[in-house]
Amino acid sequence: MEKQIKKRSLVIAIDGPSGVGKSTVSKKIAARFGLTYIDTGAMYRAVALAANRAKIDIDSIEELEEFCDDLRVEFDDGTVSVNGTDYTGLIRTEEASTLASVTSSKSPVRRVLVEYQRKLAKNGAVVMEGRDIGTVVLPDTRFKFFLTASHEVRAFRRHAEQKEKESLESKEVSESMRARDSLDSNRSDSPLVKARDAIEVDTGALDIDGVVEKILLAIEDGTV
């Protein structure tokens, strides 16, 4: 692998809805190659929390435009801050997910974050995960993967993850996920879709190590 592709040139895009294991898989791929892992979902959640804290009407394009004019987002070594405030410890809450489901569909927010994400990937050596990496953020990268799983599998995983931090019923998590899926797939700006040249991997049929190995083999074999 090292002989065929220089690590510093690797830019790997991993997309998919929530609950498919994007973060875990992406971190393992990044660790295997010594690349920088970039979680774009964390950025959207942090911005949503920051906008809410600033009393911005997140349904208002005008207010979000003004808010985003002076937006400073920093993603470094797994931590994410907005305008100097660290939101890392709050981004995995249901509140962050709910707020992000609204703000992430808004063009002012996407414009700023897509530009920032492209800058992070400019020099290569990154694994970037999100919902529109292969289609919008880095459409020209060679290595694109789209992770999927059934709604039932994804809801079970998300509930298991959330119940350690919040008291949530599985039905509540499932319904919230369906609503987020609908918003992500039907928004006019950067909808959640599989890039035509991305390899699809069903993470419900494999364990994490199996998913990682499938992606690694696809890269090494030159099938992407």
Residue ranges per structural domain of the chain: 7-221
Positive or negative CA dihedral for 82, 87, 92, 96?
negative
Highest mean pLDDT among 2-6, 18-22, 81-85, 168-172: 81-85
pLDDT on residue 220: 83
Pairing of strands 85-86, 79-82: antiparallel
Q: What is the mean pLDDT of residues 87-94?
A: 92
Work out whether strand 143-148 and strand 199-202 pair parallel, antiparallel, or are unpaired: parallel
Residue 71: pLDDT above 80? yes
Q: What is the pLDDT of residue 81?
A: 97
- pLDDT value for 165: 55
Give 3's pLDDT tier (boundaries 50, 70, 90): very low
Tokens 């942090």, located at residue? 46
Q: Which of 107, 139, 109 is nearest to 48 (CA)?
A: 109
Q: Which two tokens stand for residue 156?
A: 């079970």
pLDDT in tens, 209-218: 999 999 999 9
H helical segments located in the chain: 22-33, 40-53, 61-69, 94-103, 107-121, 151-162, 170-186, 208-221
**Structure-block tokens of residue 81:** 């801050």
Q: 7-221 — its CATH code? A: 3.40.50.300
pTM of this structure: 0.86
Q: Give the Å distances, CA to CA, from 147 to 30, 51, 95.
A: 16, 29, 24
**Cα separation, 124 vs 142, whole angstroms:** 12
If residue 76 lies in a helix (H) or strand (E), which one and from where to where? Answer: strand 73-76
For the chain, what is the mean pLDDT? 88
35: burial class by Cβ within 10 Å (0-12, 13-18, 19+)?
buried
121-152 pLDDT, tens digit per residue, is: 998 999 999 999 999 999 999 999 999 988 88
Alpha-carbon torsion (108, 109, 115, 116), positive or negative: positive
